[in-house]
């Protein structure tokens, strides 16, 4: 009975992740792209492996999807997420950069890129990425908070204060 419940829960998680992945707000430029059959199959496998925290097979699946459609940003995005979970910062950063080149409106990629750059103490580059994220999504509270933290790190508390005031003014503060 417990095994059946665990299998059901794992299946449900995979389905939820797939639904979320399909409905991520990609730019209109990439909504028109039809995913080829093999790429779609590998992508779904990658999402399944990722949901099970089975990271090496997830990497292989996302890389296989990329072979079939190298200019589809979500494939690179999820590969970057897996690399980030594996603490492979250089590979994750490379993939996030590819995402932002392929789709300059993919605000989540800019956010993740900014967070990683901030963790690497590359504050000015982090600020650039985070500013792009909030420019693309002016309701992205986490990005605003991280941007404010980066301003504090570089010794610019006035800019951080402006961000917090903005969040308060629009009721976006957490």
- For residue 6, what pLDDT is reported? 58
Task: Tell me the CATH number of domain 104-174, given options 3.40.50.1820, 1.10.10.10, 1.25.40.10, 2.60.40.1250.
Answer: 1.25.40.10
Using a 10 angstrom Cβ sphere, with 0-12 exposed, 13-18 middle and 19 or more buried, the burial of residue 57 is: middle
**pLDDT (average), residues 87-116:** 98
pLDDT higher than 70, residue 31:
no
- The correct answer on CATH 1.25.40.10 for the domain covering 36-103 is yes
Mean pLDDT computed over every residue of the chain: 86
- For residue 7, what pLDDT is reported? 55
Which of 11-15, 24-28, 169-173 reaches the highest mean pLDDT? 169-173
pLDDT, one tens digit per residue, over 120-156 is 999 999 999 999 999 999 999 999 999 999 999 999 9
Q: Which of 4-8, 126-130, 157-161 has the lowest mean pLDDT?
A: 4-8
pLDDT, one tens digit per residue, over 34-78 is 566 799 999 999 999 999 999 999 999 999 999 999 999 999 999
Which sequence spans correspond to the domains of the chain?
Answer: 36-103, 104-174
Q: Which of 28-32, 128-132, 167-171 has the lowest mean pLDDT?
A: 28-32
């Amino acid at each position: 009975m417990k095994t059946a419940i665990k299998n059901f829960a794992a299946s449900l998680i995979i389905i939820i992740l797939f639904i979320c992945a399909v409905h991520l707000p990609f730019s209109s430029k990439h909504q028109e792209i039809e995913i080829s059959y093999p790429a779609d199959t590998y992508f779904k496998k990658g999402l399944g492996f990722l949901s099970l925290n089975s990271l090496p097979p997830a990497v292989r699946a996302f890389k296989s999807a990329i072979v079939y459609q190298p200019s589809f940003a979500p494939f690179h995005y999820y590969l970057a997420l897996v690399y980030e979970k594996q603490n492979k910062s250089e590979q994750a950063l490379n993939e996030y950069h590819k995402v932002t080149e392929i789709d300059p409106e993919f605000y989540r990629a800019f956010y993740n890129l900014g967070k990683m750059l901030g963790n690497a103490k590359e504050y000015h580059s982090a600020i650039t990425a985070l500013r792009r994220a909030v420019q693309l999504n002016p309701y992205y509270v986490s990005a605003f908070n991280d941007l404010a933290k980066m301003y504090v790190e570089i010794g610019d508390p006035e800019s951080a204060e402006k961000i917090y005031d903005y969040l308060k003014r629009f009721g976006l503060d957490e």
